[in-house]
Structure 1
Amino acid sequence: MSSNPLLQRNQTVFINGEWRDGGGAAPLSVVNPSNGEIITQVPTGGAGDVEAAAAAAAAAFGPWKATPSTTRAGYLRAIAKGLAARHDQLVNVQMTVSGKPQMESEIDVGDAIACFEYYAGLADGLDAAQDAPVSHAGGDHMGRVRHEPVGPVGMIVPWNFPLVTSAWKLAPALAAGCTAVMKTSEMTPLIELAYGDIAVEIGLPAGVINIVTGGADVGIAISAAPEFRKVSFTGSNMVGALVMQAVSKRCLPIALELGGKSPIIVTEDADLDTALDCVLGGVFYNAGQMCSATSRLMVHESLEAKLIEGLAERAKGMRVSSPFDEGCEMGPITTRAQFTKIREYLDGARADGLTCVAGGDALADGPGNFIAPTIYRNVPHDNRIWREEVFGPVLATTTFRSDEEAIRIANDTHYGLVGSVVCADPARGNALCDGIEAGQIWYNTPQIVYPDSAWGGFKASGIGRELGPWGLSGFQGVKHVTSPM
Structure 2
Amino acid sequence: MGSYNDESSSDYVSKIPTIKFTKLFINGEFVDAISGRTFETIDPRTGEVIAKIAEGDKEDVDLAVRAARHAFDNGPWPRMSGYERGRILSKFADLIEQHIEELAAIDAVDAGKLFEWGKAVDIPSTAKTVHYYAGAADKIHGQVLKMSKAFHAYTLLEPVGVVGHIVPWNFPSNLFAMKVAPSLAAGCTIVVKPAEQTPLSALFYAHLAKQAGIPDGVINVVTGFGPTAGAAIASHMDIDKVSFTGSTEVGRKIMQAAALSNLKPVSLELGGKSPLLIFDDADVDQAADQALLGVMYNKAKPPFLDAYYIFTNQGEICVASSRVFVQEGIYDELVKKLAEKAKDWVVGDPFDPKSRIGPQVEKRQYDKILSYIEHGKREGATLLTGGKPLETKGYYIQPTIFTDVKEDMLIAKDEIFGPVMSLMKFKTIEEGIKCANNTQYGLAAGIITKNLDVANTVSRSIRAGTIWINCYFAFDDDCPYGGYKMSGFGRDLGMDAIHKYLQVKSVATPLHNSPWL
Structure 2 counterpart of 1:442, from 459, 464, 468: 468
Deviation at 1:11, TM superposition (A): 4.0
- Work out the CA distance in 2 between the residues paired with 1:19 and 1:414: 42
Cα distance in 1 between the residues matched to 2:18 and 2:482: 31
Give unpaired runs (5+ residues) of structure 2.
1-11, 294-308, 512-517
CA shift, 1:443, in A, is 0.9
Q: Secondary structure at the match of 2:441?
A: coil
Runs ≥4 residues deviating over 3 A: 1-7
Specify the SS of the correspondent of 2:442: coil
Pair 1:351 & 2:365 matched = no
1:284 equivalent in alignment to 2:311:
yes
How far apart, CA to CA, are the structure 1 residues paired with 2:383 and 2:18? Answer: 39
Instruction: Give 1:251's aligned residue.
Output: 263
Contact 2:116 2:351 in 1 (8 A): no
TM-score normalised per structure 2 = 0.90
Q: In the alignment, which residue of structure 1 is the partner of 2:418?
A: 392
Number of aligned residue pairs: give it.
Answer: 480
The correspondence of residues 9-408 of structure 1 with structure 2, limited to 5 A, is 9=20, 11-24=22-35, 26-62=37-73, 63-106=76-119, 107-126=121-140, 129-130=141-142, 132-136=143-147, 138-216=148-226, 217-249=228-260, 250-281=262-293, 282-364=309-391, 366-408=392-434
**TM-score, normalised relative to structure 1:** 0.96
Match of 1:407, as an amino acid? I
Determine helix, strand or coil for the equivalent of 1:65. Answer: helix
| Aligned-pair CA distance for 1:143 | 1.4
Deviation at 1:3, TM superposition (A): 7.1
Deviation at 1:2, TM superposition (A): 7.1
2:482 pairs with 1:419: no
What is the CA–CA distance in structure 2 between the aligned matches of 1:10 and 1:168, rounded to whole Å? 22
Structure 1 stretches lacking a partner, 5+ long: none
Question: Residue by residue, what CA displacement relative to the aligned partner does 1:222-270 show, whole Å, maximum 9, x if unpaired?
Answer: 1122111001111111111111111111211001110001100000111
Cα pair 1:276 1:311 within 8 Å, conserved: yes
Percent identity reads 38
Q: Which amino acid aligns with 2:450?
A: A
Kindly provide the amino acid, as one letter, of the partner of residue 46 in structure 1.
Answer: D
> Contact 1:6/1:190 (CA < 8 Å) preserved in 2?
no
Moved more, 266-275 or 376-385: 266-275
User: 1:260/1:100 Cα in 2 relative to 1: closer, same or farther (>3 Å)?
Assistant: same
- Output the amino acid matched with 2:130: F
State the Cα distance separating 1:185 from its structure 2 match: 1.0
Q: For residue 471 of structure 1, what is the aligned residue in structure 2? A: 497
User: SS of 1:283's equivalent?
Assistant: coil
2:298 maps to what in 1? none
In 2, the alpha carbon distance for the partners of 1:283 and 1:210 equals 34
CA-to-partner distance for each residue in 1:316-349, whole Å, 9 max, x for gaps? 3310111122411111111111000001111111
The residue type paired with residue 90 of structure 1 is: L
Moved more, 468-477 or 320-329: 320-329
Question: In structure 2, what is the Cα distance between the partners aligned to 1:6 and 1:154?
Answer: 29
Structure 1 window deviating more from structure 2 (336-345 vs 349-358): it is: 349-358
Q: Is the 8 A contact 1:277 1:446 kept in 2?
A: no
CA contact under 8 A between 2:44 and 2:394: conserved in structure 1?
Answer: yes
Amino acid at match of 2:138: D
